[in-house]
Amino acid sequence: WASLDEVDVVEATQSDAAKLALMTKVERMAIDDAKQAAIEAAGEKVSSASLAFPLSSSASARLSAFSSGAASLAVLTIARETIELIDTPTEANASALQPMLPQRAPAYLLYRWAHTPPAGEATATPIFLYCCPEESPVRAKMLHASTKGGVIAHFKEAGIQIAKSFEVSDLADVTESLFFSELYPPEEQQQAFSRPAPRAGRKLTKRRDA
């Protein structure tokens, strides 16, 4: 388990050289990959660089529970080159998600959102959010960005099919309004609520007496 206090990393006032000296080889590779991805993106190229870290036992157990339907929530982070589960309940309303996310460090949110679509019956949709607050240390941003693909691969291995994935930098945006707008864009909602025009019926005319 990892607590919110542990993942809310505050950057120390160290020189760049000192920071690099403290990094592991894998973390340096993550930064190099992120830099290369940025360079390729600037050149309108696509980069598939992604780090693959193992799951901790608690994270693996939570994904298994999510896959079986025994859990609808998992908040994950990278710690000590391992994908760790942040200590959170297995169930939560969408309105209660924000306080469970680190305020100054990136995290991954896997959530089965129970809701009723604009037109349809109640459903529960698995969604994935990469949450990266602006206050996060640059080192943590690069590491988590490079590991996102590996995290999604773990979901697939656990039999979890994600319906929608997106990113947020402001945790205040993690609301049901965001989920609705991402899964049901305004134009689709308008189509769902629009009613077909009534069929043309027989035209009645007033009969005139001779």
| Mean pLDDT within 31-56 | 60
Confidence at residue 203, expressed as pLDDT on a 0 to 100 scale: 45
**Residue 36 — very low, low, confident or very high, per pLDDT cuts 50/70/90?**
low
| pTM score of the predicted model | 0.69
Say if residue 31's pLDDT is above 60: yes
Confidence at residue 19, expressed as pLDDT on a 0 to 100 scale: 57
Q: Are 130 and 164 in contact, with CB atoms under 8 Å apart?
A: no
Confidence at residue 157, expressed as pLDDT on a 0 to 100 scale: 96
Confidence at residue 145, expressed as pLDDT on a 0 to 100 scale: 94
Q: How far is 164 from 181, CA to CA, in rounded Å?
A: 11
Pairing of strands 82-85, 123-131: unpaired
Q: For the residues of 116-127, what is the DSSP string, one character each?
A: --SSS--EEEEE
Choose between 6 and 67: higher pLDDT: 67
Backbone phi and psi for residue 115, each to the nearest 5 degrees, phi listed first: -165, 175
Give pLDDT tens digits for 156-202.
Answer: 999 999 999 999 999 999 999 999 999 998 865 555 444 454 454 44
SS3 104: coil
Q: Are 142 and 32 in contact, with CB atoms under 8 Å apart?
A: no
SS3 140: helix
Pairing of strands 73-79, 107-115: antiparallel
